[in-house]
Amino acid sequence: MAKPFDATLNSLIDARPQDWVAFLCARFGIPPGPAEIIDTDLSATVQADKVFRLVGPPVVYFHLELESGSRPRLPADLCRYNTLIGHGHDDPVHTVLLLLRPKANASDLTGTHVRLGVTGRPYHTFEYTVVRLWREPFDALLEGSPGTAPLALLTDEAAADYPAAMARFAERLRRPDVDGNLARELLGSTFVLCGLRYDPKKTIELYRSISMTLEDSTTYQWILQKGVAQGVAQGVAQGVAQGVAQEARKLLLIQARKRFANLPPTAEGALQAVADPARLERMAERIFDATSWDDLLATP
C-alpha cells in the first residue's frame, strides 16, 4: 500500500540516486561507489521502499525504508524485507529506517528486532539502523550531496529558524553542482516535503523569499520560464492574478504527481475543466492535506 508522500520521495531519490547511496554509505563508514537501484517488488504483497546494490568491492545491499507516520509491526516487516532481499546471495543487506518526523517515532523502533522461542529465549535477532531525521545536523545535510539536501529542512535545527533555513537552502540551489533540471526537481519535492512539518501558508511565504534570493540566478530564470518557481515561490494565486491560470494548472498538476502516487490518466483533463481562479488557489492550499487526487479535485 502506498504511503503518504511516496511519490515525492521516490522522485527525490530517482533524481540523484548516487547521493542517497553516499548518504547510506556514510552510516556504515563505507566509501561510496557505483551502485544500482534494485527492483523492490519482493512478492505479490511485499514491497520495500528502495533497495540499492553497491557494486563494490565490497558488494553491499542497502534497504532504505522511509516513514512519516506510525506503523504497527514495523520492525517485523523490516526483518521480513531484509530476509527476502538477501535470499539467493551471500552479500550483506543493511536495513536503514529513515523517520521523517517525530510523529513516526515509536518505542519499539530500537534498532533490534528479537523473536522469542517457546521457552522465552531469543532464537533470532535482527539489527537495523534507525535515523531520526529531526535529530540530524542541519549543516551536514545541507552541505552534503544536493540530492539529499532537502532533508535538512526537516531537522529540528531548521524548525528552530525555518525562514533562515529556507534562505540557506535557496543559496544551496545556486551552487555549480545544481543545474536547472535538478533545481526544478529539488524545488518541487521540497515544497511538498515541507508539508510534513510546517504550515503550508508559511511555506508559500518563504518560497516568495526564495524567489527574491534567486531572481538574478540563471537557475531561477530557467525555472521561472517553465512556470514552476512562479507558482511555487509566488503562489498559485499570484499567478492567476497575472493572467497565467494555465501555468497555475500546470504547476498544480506537477505537485499532484509528486504528492500522490498513480495519478489517473484523466487528471490533466479534469484540472483543465477548473476555470475558477479562486478554486485553483484553494486546491493549491490543500495539496498537503488532501488524502488523494479525488479528494483534492473535490475542493469546492
Q: What is the mean pLDDT of the chain?
A: 82
Task: List b or e across 172-211, with b for residues whose CB sees 16 or more CB atoms inside 10 angstroms.
Answer: bbeeeebebebbbbbbbbbbbbbbbbbebeebbebbeebb
Task: Calculate mean pLDDT across residues 111-132.
Answer: 97
pLDDT in tens, 183-241: 877 877 887 788 888 887 788 778 766 655 554 444 445 444 545 444 444 444 443 34
Q: CB of 51 within 8 A of CB of 38?
A: yes
Domain ranges of the chain: 6-135, 138-297
pLDDT of residue 208: 65
What's the pLDDT tens digit per position in 59-94? 999 999 999 888 889 999 999 999 999 988 899 999
24 or 9: which leads in pLDDT: 24
- For residue 175, the one-letter residue type is R
Burial class (CB in 10 A: 0-12, 13-18, 19+), 31: exposed
Give the residue among 138, 151, 35, 161 at the shortest CA–CA distance from 91: 35
232 CA to centre of own chain:
17
Cell of 91: 552479500
Per the model's pLDDT, the better-predicted residue between 4 and 283 turns out to be: 283
- Distance between CA atoms of 264 and 278, rounded to whole angstroms? 24
Per residue in 258-300, pLDDT (tens digit) is: 778 777 888 888 888 887 777 887 887 788 788 888 888 899 8
Helix (H) or strand (E) holding 122: strand 122-127
Confidence of residue 58 (pLDDT cuts 50, 70, 90): confident
